[in-house]
Amino acid sequence: MDQTKTAPHFKLIFATGNLHKLHEVKFILKEYPLIIEQRPLKGIEIQSNDLGEVAIASVLGAVQRSGAPIFVEDTGLFVEALKGFPGVFASYTYQTLGTTGLLKLLDGETNRRAVFKSAVAYCAPHNRPACFRGEVSGRISRQARGVHGFGFDAVFEPDPGGGQTFGEMGIDEKNRWSHRACAVRRFAAWLLTDGID
């Protein structure tokens, strides 16, 4: 990694109200010379099937009020047998139906294929936003397993995870495979080479 252009401790704001997500993102970024400050000031969330559009609209709304470089992260879970449901509405669906509701919807369904996707959108004041994506394929388990992570982690078995759900993995192992870690690392790599002027 070419760090010649980076300040020793570049500070940026992570706009989120989700402390689980904050913890996970900070853990991913601890390898990088970045200082992450959390603020619960996401912009509007739009309804779009494209996670990147959702993240960009959100960061554009937030950057006006931040006065500093800021990023957001949005997650979607796309279940094949449910025509992509819950998609970009994964968070709302988790809060209302929970893992129990998702498993009920897939009761008797043999096709358990699903994709977890992540989009990170970043914007510095008076600049254009940038977007970074990550995804991991896997399947929805027959029952919830594990106590780690958050959201639908306990019912998602990533293909490269040896049959474990994200909920059964420690944060180190989850970050080897996860959609979020992939998107966040792409963002950090870009930031430290091209993104900081």
Q: Which residues are tagged catalytic? A: 74
Q: What is the DSSP code string of 145-163?
A: --SSSSGGGGGEEEGGGTT
Spacing of C-alpha 168 from chain mean position? 18
Residue with the two structure tokens 């402390």: 19
Residues in contact with a second copy, total (CB under 8 A)? 22
The H or E element that residue 170 is part of is none
Give the Cβ contact number of residue 108 at 10 Å.
Answer: 4
- Taking CB under 8 A as the criterion, the residue among 3, 95, 127, 143 binding a second copy is 95
Q: What is the b/e burial string over 120-148, where b = at least 16 CB atoms within 10 angstroms of the residue's CB?
A: bbbbbeeeebbbbbbbbebbbbeebbbeb
* Beta carbon nearer to a second copy, 150 or 190: 150
Positions 65 through 84 that interact with a second copy (CB under 8 A):
82-84
Check residue 104 for interaction with a second copy (CB under 8 A). yes
Check residue 52 for interaction with a second copy (CB under 8 A). no
Which residue type is seen at 88?
V
Check residue 93 for interaction with a second copy (CB under 8 A). yes
CA dihedral 19, 24, 27, 30 (to 10 degrees): -80
Check residue 105 for interaction with a second copy (CB under 8 A). yes
Check residue 60 for interaction with a second copy (CB under 8 A). no
Check residue 40 for interaction with a second copy (CB under 8 A). no
CB of 49 to a second copy, least distance (A): 9
Under 8 Å between Cβ of 178 and 158: yes
* Beta carbon nearer to a second copy, 43 or 149: 43
- Taking CB under 8 A as the criterion, the residue among 6, 48, 137, 164 binding a second copy is 48
Axis-axis angle for helices 19-29, 179-190 (nearest 10) = 50
* Beta carbon nearer to a second copy, 59 or 191: 59
Q: Which stretch binds a second copy (CB under 8 A): 8-16, 91-99, 126-134, 150-158?
A: 91-99
Give the residues lining the site for a second copy (CB under 8 A). 44-48, 54, 57, 82-85, 87, 89, 92-93, 95-97, 101, 104-105, 107
